Structure 1
């Protein structure tokens, strides 16, 4: 047995070993967060009840609409640039950090202003909603330090970020349990979110220093800043519209139906999106290798992309099919009878994961090919479809209508639009093969 294991190890290339190790660390992080988050999240949902749970998620959804501007679409671009050439590491990290920090401060004030002027001051929960949004929006400023994580990802060394984030996550979830026992108000749980970001940032700063890197070596280049923004502005728009069609459903439900409807819908969405870390972790690990494979040959490049598409599609089916048949039982088991209506919503919403996975995987190709404008266009198409369908479906079908709108908009944005733009038809065909699982049969 030991001889067999040794033979397998010898067949693995150094790059493949790094990918497997990096993916394992990312999976470890997400599994820990999934299990602990599920336990504490369910406890919190039961404690708050559908109405207050809905108000809490409504505030998070409002902030989420503006967070992409704070990120500036720099994630994959910075990782790509560092993976290609680390000689300008300090310039890249320093410039990207300053850009994100400034953008996050602007985001805070814009978010606060939108809620302040769009919510009726006569609403019974006006002050609480304003406090919740303000506190959660503060987290975007702290997340500027995620730039350090981009460095570790580019070097396929995500274990350092995992340690930092997991330590913060475990500690804050312990705090949330105490808050539940103390019957704390909603603002306390919003504050816990920001404290988690702070602890995670401190952990990554320590890890960055312990791996022989210095923050003080970072420097800002206005020339490079212009270059980054030139590449990233389509991704900023893309990120904004992606968050619109990912979270506008909860915002529109809150405006058109009420907090309780948001709470029930959010319960279904949290289960549906619970596994989204899987395609994200896979893509984050293989992205540097796919970028490098393009330098080898087009054949190798597209073969690896097809393998990626097929893998994430197969995982989506493995999740969606059983959940479709057991949705109501899963909801009542986890959340209790107060959330039983979420079962029908979950039954529909779970299928959005197939197209989310394909969209996440497609971003590797879009970034590598420099087609950021297409990314923005597809996200915009999905956002428009989602808003229009929500407008017509929610008044008649409530949360179920919002779930239908989400699945259709994801299908349009992450898959269907690729058929109508000549440069993307090739990748559309690769996605189609993945949906049909033809790659599993060598086709």
Structure 2
């Protein structure tokens, strides 16, 4: 059982994360709206198509290492330099591999040279994302405030650059460069903050045996990440190929608002992930009580977000994006309900890692990706952007929730997720949690 001091530690860490994400959400949202208005649906669609295309290959760059490295750092902090050094080398190698595969992938599209140029400029940013292993270190120590500072000032700086770019009438190509520049600044910030805290990346070293061990644990997550990229971004890629870039622009505008909330479960689970691991060490009872509380919290937060947006979607789109994007409202009112299953999926993914069941994440995301592609092929020709939104919600429901019922070791987690919709259970666990800590 965590003591009051321990709880305050996690609460303080979560507060930092929420503050940073809320500020980033507000700033990034309004700047993206400003950019969307400036570029118009057609160019904005082309930019988001390029970002989505790169996202299909980003899982190869990360190599599924993120949560694995955090888990290992929590278990043994003495391996810090070898873990971070090995993870860094692996992620750089993964980024190079991802760009090479992407170069092959663009050959199977109808892209012109300009579109491919946008894609490769954005893809170059994956090389610099390797430095986020510093973020993993601070997450493992529940000291996210240091990473928050880097992310906060990066997004503020890039947002100012985007506003200035609009002011001087910058072309579409420049906004692709800003995506790359954001990754460069973020990597530089992580390097700086790590050194300012008396540590040095030059003490990192690569360990071949550790690399094999990490990849042995992460390989299911690599493929899982690929399939996540497919069922999260394939809709925009398919809309461009099956309709046009303007449809992508309208769809992307709605998705920006819908996905803006996806930080909520990530923040909660990131901050309390070490507490859940420690709970498992204490007893199964405490472990599952904490899981029940967290599952119920993220599910009802998603519902509370989705309900008002369902009724106010038309007003929100018209106020933010203007008359040119009015067609995005119907997409927003459908797509926002994907948040319920995304929130469940984020929570479940941590459970799979703790239980060393990473391979089952691969199975369910494979199912979700396949469903999304098939549903998009069926629904986009008939219903356009609304069909793509519907396909996304259904595929998220199947991948993050329903699939667990049909996979033996994950059935317990299916029922745990189902109980999260019960408000009575949520309040009971919350009261027990607060009572234990005498808050």
After TM superposition, give the deviation of residue 107 of structure 1 in Å.
1.0
Q: Distance in 2 between matches of 1:279 and 1:119?
A: 34
How far apart are the structure 1 equivalents of 2:196 and 2:46?
Answer: 41
1:302 aligns with 2:293: no
Distance (Å, rounded) in 2 between the aligned partners of 1:89 and 1:233: 21
Residue number in structure 2 paired with 1:281: 267
Q: 1:415 aligns with which of 382, 393, 401?
A: 401
Q: Does 1:100 align with 2:84?
A: no
**Structure 2 residue 80 is matched with structure 1 residue 89:** yes
* Unaligned 5+ runs, structure 2: 430-439
Partner of 2:314: 328
> Are residues 1:229 and 2:215 paired?
yes
Where 1:157 maps in the other structure, the secondary structure is coil
- Answer yes or no: is 1:431 the counterpart of 2:421: no
Aligned to 2:338: 352
The 8 Å contact of residues 112 and 133 in structure 1, kept in 2 or not, is answered as no
Count, aligned residues: 428
- Pick from 108, 116, 119 the counterpart of residue 118 of structure 1: 108
Structure 2 Cα separation of the partners of residues 152 and 371 of structure 1: 25
**1:312 aligned to 2:298?**
yes
Structure 1 spans left out of the alignment, 5+ residues: 1-10
Tell me the residue number matched to 1:75: 66
Of 38, 54, 65, which aligns to 1:47?
A: 38
- Render the CA deviation track for 1:116-143: whole Å, top value 9, x for unaligned: x1234xx6xx122111101100010000
| Per-residue deviation, 1:362 | 0.8
Structure 1 stretches (4+) deviating beyond 3 angstroms? none
- Aligned residue for 1:87, secondary structure, equals helix
Deviates further, 398-407 or 211-220: 211-220
Q: For 1:394 and 1:15, locate their aligned partners in 2 and report how far apart those are by CA, in whole Å.
A: 50
More deviation, 83-92/230-239 = 83-92
Q: Match for 1:364 among 327, 350, 368?
A: 350
Q: Distance in 2 between matches of 1:421 and 1:244?
A: 21
Q: Does 1:33 align with 2:24?
A: yes
TM-fit CA distance, 1:416:
0.4
Q: Paired residue for 2:134? A: 148
Give how far 1:278 is off: 0.9
Under a length normalisation based on structure 1, what TM-score does the superposition of the two structures give? 0.95
Comparing 42-51 and 28-37, the one that deviates more? 28-37
Superposition RMSD on alpha carbons, in Å? 1.2
Please state how far the C-alpha of 1:35 moved relative to its aligned partner: 0.9
The answer to whether the 8 Å contact 2:292/2:426 transfers is no
1:190 lines up with 2:154 in the alignment: no
Shift of 1:12: 6.1
Q: Does 1:56 align with 2:47?
A: yes
What is the CA distance between 1:438 and its match in structure 2? 4.0
Q: Give the structure 2 partner of residue 242 of structure 1.
A: 228
The corresponding residue for 2:197 is: 211
Structure-2 separation of matches of 1:56 and 1:360: 27
2:341 paired with 1:341: no
Q: Which segment is superposed worse, 150-159 or 421-430?
A: 421-430
Instruction: Indicate the SS of the match to 2:206.
Output: coil
Name the SS for the 2:15 alignment partner. helix
